[in-house]
Amino acid sequence: MRLGTLDIIILVIYFVVMIGIGIYVTRRAAKNLDSYFLGENTMPWWLLGVSNASAMWDITGTMWLVYILFAYGLKGLFLPWLWPIFNQIFDAVYLSKWVRRSKARTGAEWIVTRFGADSGGELARAVILLFALISVVGFISYDFQGMGKFCKVFLPWDLSPNTYAVLIMGITAVYVVLGGMLSVVLTDFVQFILMALSSVVIGVIAMQSVSADSLGTLMPNGWQNIFFGWNLDLDWNAHLPALNGKIAADGWANAFGFFFMLMVFKGILSSMAGAAPNYDMQRILAAKSPKEASFMSAIVSICLVPRWILIAGITLLGLAFVTPEFNKMGNADFELVLPYVINNFLPAGLVGILLAGLLSAFMSTFSATVNAGAAYLVNDIYKPYLNPNAADKTLVRAGYLASILVLAAGISVGFFLSSINSITQWIVSGLFGGYTAANVLKWYWWRLNGYGYFWGMLTGIVCALLVPVVVPAWNPLYAFPFILLFSTIACFAGSLLTKPVEAETLKKFYRDVRPWGFWQPVYELCREEDAAIEPNRGAARDLTNCGVGIIWQMMLMTIPVYVVLRSSTGVLISVAILIATTVFLKKFWYESLVREEVLMNEAENFNRL
């Protein structure tokens, strides 16, 4: 890698500034747990939203997104639904406000508001804690893989990818451990600005370097067509024959229509389960109010628009300049399109800025993940079970140690992985497949109790861990229906064979959260005490808004891609759909959210009187 003196200076300044922010906010963050893990619920929603988007803008995920757009063309824009990225729409429409009304500090603590603190509630809290820690370690190992591959291409020393990953993670951990949530959010904001500027620069370079007239010669027929049939029907033999083998190994090309339907089915259920216990939920809980929590989730999709400029720009440069190089290689790693483009086809002097931007993408995700994992260890294990009378300073110091432990666990697992795509698939389809059933039912079915939640989650986690061992050749998405079935059965059996949650806990949860779904028995109990209470009749409205919101979010992805590809037709159609869906959401989501917040505040004030 040809890193010039200016490039190295930029990188050094960047790391010094990030660590400096962590040191600067140390005193404020160290006051208590709310300061360290939630920033005292004082941060504005737009800042939390930018931070959340920045945390999702990781190097590993960006490398994967470049790969799928490079290999699958515009049809690859649907593949992020594996996560699913549209969970942010469900959060914005109704789930973020439901979560925030709990006033909890972590996802495990939130569970107590739903299932109580008896033995069933404790089991539920224990299993969500187990899931949270497994997912945090999984995400850190995922970051570990991407960071190692990325740095091996760029940095000048002859070290292994794993060594590079350990070094960068160690530097990032300094400001995460010192500054807690406040440090993470402030550095995320700086990193987002840097990443957005870097993305625009790469997009402009790509458009100047590759003429619109040459696009048709760089890609197979159908690459620029976003629509698809039952099969993928994308043949790379004339351009990059080896890529056909990689696509076949992914297991998506044949019966792509079936894969798409299964992906959407899984995505909707996973989204209805609500935010997973990671940095996403932590930012929801850190918002000032339920309304601001919803706004925070909504702005995430807007903030990620520059990322798609970056992805489209790198992909275009890859199609033009990397394809010939890959054809010369006997065994090319197609997940390295992004670092290969920057390393070989961008002008010297610009590399340092772009590297700082991309490293900041990694650091945002990594720092948020470590902070979330430490919150669970301290708030849900150390404080309640090991040292319930601990002083605030002791708890914050425990947060320092917990961050280090989470980091060490994630790095240890990362040493045994070899593919970004494999860990991505396992996290989004296997692990989160086990999360889905219990967490859907907890919102919409009153009869689910702590025992049902425990057995459903435990069954799902065990199935997710066993799938790579028992059927290693399976695509994890195809295992999702089976994991969902087994965990659903466990939820029903565990709940119906034991007592319901205590009535007082259910009534308080219903009054505070106001969910819709199968809550009639609880509503009737609440009505006996308050004849004025009304059930939530917003299910049809909320789900319709979610459907429209998914289309709205998709246009925020297609517009930047079409701009970089110089497709005027695609841009005009996408902009028209974006405007129409924005008007719809303004009327049926935004206005109803504001009215609902006013009514709930009035009701709370009346109850205080």
One-letter-per-residue 3-state SS of 522-536: HHHHHHHHCCCCCCC
pLDDT exceeds cutoff 70 at 178? no
Average pLDDT value for the chain: 83
**Distance (Å, whole) CA 60 – CA 427:** 13
**Among all chains, which residue has been given the structure tokens 């009514």?**
599
**Among all chains, which residue has been given the structure tokens 């569970």?**
111
Q: 420 vs 431, which has greater pLDDT? A: 431
pLDDT exceeds cutoff 90 at 496? yes
Q: 135 vs 274, which has greater pLDDT? A: 274
pLDDT exceeds cutoff 80 at 158? no
Q: Give the pLDDT band of residue 126 (cuts 50, 70, 90).
A: confident
Q: 342 vs 416, which has greater pLDDT? A: 342
Q: Which helix (H) or strand (E) holds 469?
A: helix 450-470
Q: Choose among 51, 56, 111, 47: nearest CA to 84.
A: 56
DSSP code for 500: P
Answer for the pair 179, 25: CB distance below 8 angstroms, yes or no: yes
Instruction: Say what the pLDDT of residue 422 is.
Output: 55
Instruction: Say what the pLDDT of residue 396 is.
Output: 72
pLDDT exceeds cutoff 50 at 517? yes
**Distance (Å, whole) CA 122 – CA 498:** 15
The pLDDT of 101-122, averaged and rounded, is 83
**Distance (Å, whole) CA 336 – CA 266:** 28
pLDDT digits (tens, 9 = 90+) for 5-18: 777 787 788 777 76
The pLDDT of 104-111, averaged and rounded, is 73
* Region of poorest pLDDT, from 162-171, 365-374, 599-608: 599-608
Report residue 301 as tokens.
């999709």
Name the pTM for this structure: 0.85
The pLDDT of 183-190, averaged and rounded, is 71
Q: Give the pLDDT band of residue 411 (cuts 50, 70, 90).
A: confident
Instruction: Say what the pLDDT of residue 47 is.
Output: 87
DSSP code for 502: P
Cα–Cα distances (Å) from 100 to 95, 136, 280, 365, in that order, read: 9, 21, 12, 22
Answer for the pair 419, 145: CB distance below 8 angstroms, yes or no: yes
Q: 435 vs 514, which has greater pLDDT? A: 514
Q: Give the pLDDT band of residue 36 (cuts 50, 70, 90).
A: very low
**Distance (Å, whole) CA 370 – CA 353:** 25
pLDDT digits (tens, 9 = 90+) for 44-68: 899 888 888 887 777 777 888 999 9
Choices 3.30.1330.30, 1.20.1730.10, 3.40.50.2300, 3.30.300.130: CATH for 5-418: 1.20.1730.10
Strand partners for 445:
518
pLDDT exceeds cutoff 50 at 29? no
pLDDT digits (tens, 9 = 90+) for 424-481: 555 555 566 778 899 999 999 999 999 999 999 899 888 877 877 787 777 777 888 8
Instruction: Say what the pLDDT of residue 604 is.
Output: 60
Q: What sign has the CA pseudo-torsion 495, 498, 499, 501?
A: negative
pLDDT digits (tens, 9 = 90+) for 298-316: 999 999 999 999 999 999 9
**Distance (Å, whole) CA 153 – CA 351:** 13
pLDDT exceeds cutoff 80 at 27? no
For the CA atoms of 318, 254, 467, 426, what is the dihedral angle to 10 degrees? 30
Instruction: Say what the pLDDT of residue 552 is.
Output: 98
The pLDDT of 489-518, averaged and rounded, is 95
**Distance (Å, whole) CA 267 – CA 80:** 10
Instruction: Say what the pLDDT of residue 176 is.
Output: 56
Report residue 195 as tokens.
């990443």
Instruction: Say what the pLDDT of residue 26 is.
Output: 53
pLDDT exceeds cutoff 70 at 605? no
